[in-house]
A and B are shown apart, each in its own frame.
Chain A
Amino acid sequence: MNIETPPVAAEHPVMRAGHVQLRVHDLDESLHFYTQVLGLVETGRDAEQRLYLKGWDERDHASLVLRRAKEPGLDLLGFKLRSEAALQRLHDALRAADVDCRRIAAGELLHTGERLRFDIASGHTIELYAQKVELGNGLPFDDPPAWHDAGERGAGVSRFDHAVLYGPGLQQVHKLFGEVLGFHLSERILEADARDNFALWLSTSSKPADVVFVRHPTRGRLHRLAFRVESAEQVLRAADVFSMNRTQIDVGPLRDPVARRVSVQAFDPSGNRVEVFCGGYDSHPDATPLTWSWKRAGAPMALRDQRARERLFPELT
C-alpha cells in the first residue's frame, strides 16, 4: 500500500504557483491566443524572445512565460516563497533530502530574483524563488475600483492558479512536496485496485490545489494549466469565447466533483491544454483529505460529459 500520506513540514514558506514556462510553436499566434482569447495581459519580452504574461488581477510581473520550441509542453513550474531566507532554508532542506539543486541567477527571467531549480521524480522541473517585481493589477493600491477593463477581454481570467502534471514517481513526488516543501494533500484519486494513488491534489495555501500530479508512464508531461475566473457564468462565457474563436474545446463546461470545480478545458494553438475554472473550497492542512475511488472519480464527470472519463488518459504535451 502506497497511499499513506507522508507528514507535512511544519513550516509553509511556499506561497503559490508563481510562474510557468511553456513551449509553444509560434509566438505570434500564441500571444494572440493568450491575450485575446484567454485574456491575459502581456508584460514583457526578453533578449531570448520569450514572452511574459499575467492574469489581470495578478500583481507580480509575469505568471506565464512562452518560449518558442518545436515541441509544446512545460519547461518548468516555479513557486514563490515568502522570503530570501526561506529560499536558503529550503535549499538546505532539499540538499538534505538528496535533491540536486541549481541556482539560476537573478534576472534570467525578467524582473525575477534568484531561482533554485531542481528536477523531481515525475520528470518535471520545479523552481523556487522569492522575488518578482510587483507591477500591480492596473488598479491603484489606494482606494481601488472593483475591477479593471483588462478583465473584460476574452475569457478574462484573473490569475494562473495551478498546473496538472502527469508522470511517474508519484510517491516520491508526494514525499518531497509534503515533507520538504510543506504542501498538504487535499484530495486524491486512487488506482483501480485502491493500492496506490492515481492523482494527488497538493496545496500550499487555502486552495484545494497549487499543483496536481497524476500517475503516467511518461516523464515530465503537462496535462493542463488552470486559470481562475470568479463564477460559473464566467466559465460559460469562456466556453462561448473559445467557440467564437474556433478554439478546440476538450471538455466542458462541466462540473468536476474533484475540488468542486466548474471547468472548461481547451487547447492553445500548440496543443497545450488550458483550463478556465471557478469553484473549489477552503482547504487547510488539518482537514482529512477527500479520497475518490477509481470508479467514482470519473463517474459523476462522465454523466455530465460522456467523453470526460476517456480524458483521464488524454493527449498530453
Chain B
Amino acid sequence: MAVTGVLRPGHVALRVLDLDDSVRFYRDVMGLIETGRDALGRVYLKAWDERDHNSVLLRQADVAGMDALAFKVRDARTLERFGARLQEYGVATERVPRGEMLETGERLRFVIPTGHTIELYAEKTDVGNGRPYLNPEPWLPNLKGIAPVRFDHALLYGCDVDGSRALFEDVLDFALVERVLMADDRTDLAVFLSCSNKAHDIALVRHDEDDKLHHISFLLESWEQVVRAGDILALNAVPLDIGPTRHGVTRGATIYAFDRSGNRFETFCGGYEYYPDMQPLVWTSDEAGPAIFFHDRRLNDRFLSVVT
C-alpha cells in the first residue's frame, strides 16, 4: 500500500528531569545515536536505522512527560492540505517556523481533545542510517545498548478518547485497527490507530487526566532482540514494568520499563500488516487481561495507572 498523507510518527519531544543522565540512558542503554544539541539545550537522537535527523528530542524540565508527538507527512502540499482540513474541522493550529528544531522544516502544531500537542511536518534532513544508498551492507556493527531500528509509536492517556480518535480518523486519515471495550460493551477503553501498514502508529486510552504519556515505543526485529533488550535492562538495573511478554492487541512481543525520569518506554517486535480494507478487531472488557497481557491473562495496576 502506498503510504500517502501522514507517513509515520516522526519525532517525540520528551521532558526529562536530568538531561545528562537521560542522554546517557538513551544513548548507552537504549542505544540511540545522538545527532545534535540546539541553543535551547535540547538533545536530538535517532535510532540507527532511521534516516531522518532525529526522532527523540530530550528537554530538561521539572516534570517528566511528553511535550509533543510529531508526524511526518508526505510533502509541503500535504502539510498545507492538512492545515486547511484542521481549520475546517475547527482545530486551532499554530505554525512553528522552520529551524525551531534542528534540521526540521515548518511544523503545524495543534492540541487534540485528549489534551496532547500533536505536530505535522513535511521536512527533516535525511542524514542516512550510516550505510550508503549505493550498495549498502545490511546493518551497522558496534552499536551500543538495545539499538532499536526505529521509534515506532506512542500510547497516550486522556479523557476524550472519542474526540481524539475522530480527529485522527476524520482529518488525518488514520484508520481504527483494534479497540478494547469497557464493561458497557460500547465505550472504547483503548483504540489503536494506523496511518500506514503497521498495526498501530498511535494508541489512545481513556483516563481521567488529560495530556498524559503512557509510553513511547521502539521497534526491534525479533523476539531474540526483545530478550536481549531485557538482558541489557537487567544489566543496567533499569526498573522494569512488565515483560518479556505478548500483547493480544496487535500481537506485539514486548518489554516495558521506565527511563531515568519515570517515562515508560517499550521495546517490542511483531505486530501484523494492516490494510484499510480490514475490519477492526474488538476486545471485550472480560477479555481485557489477555488483550493486554496475553500470557498472564490479567492486568497489572501499575501498567494501567502510572503515566507521565
Contact = CB atoms under 8 A, between A and B. Distances in A.
Nearest to B231: A255
A315 B240 CA distance: 25
B8 interface: no
A238 B224 CA distance: 15
Interface stretch (A10-18, A228-236, A283-291): A228-236
Contacts of A253: 227, 244-245, 295
Given A243-B294, A249-B295, A253-B244, A236 B223 contact: yes
B295 A239 contact: yes
Nearest to A238: B295
Q: How large is the interface on B (under 10, 10 to 19, 20 to 34, 35 or more residues)?
A: 20 to 34
A254 interface: yes
A255 B223 contact: no
Contacts of A304: 230, 234, 240, 243-244
A236 B253 contact: yes
A252 B222 CA distance: 17
Interface in B215-263: 222-224, 227, 230-231, 233-234, 237-240, 243-246, 253
A130 to B, nearest CB: 39
B230 A233 contact: no
A262 B253 CA distance: 14
B296 A249 contact: yes
A191 B104 CA distance: 57
B233 A242 contact: no
A300 interface: yes
B245 A232 contact: no
Given A249-B296, A254-B244, A303 B224 contact: no
A304 B246 CA distance: 14
A157 B233 CA distance: 29
A97 B223 CA distance: 48
B131 interface: no
B280 interface: no
A309 to B, nearest CB: 13
Contacts of B295: 239-240, 242-243, 249, 252-253, 264
Contacts of B230: 254-255, 304
B36 interface: no
Contact of A243 (B237, B240, B297): B297
Interface of A: 231-233, 236, 239-240, 242-243, 249, 252-255, 257, 262, 264, 300, 303-304, 306
The 7 A-B residue pairs whose C-beta atoms are closest, nearest first, are: A303-B234, A239-B295, A300-B234, A236-B223, A232-B227, A233-B223, A243-B294
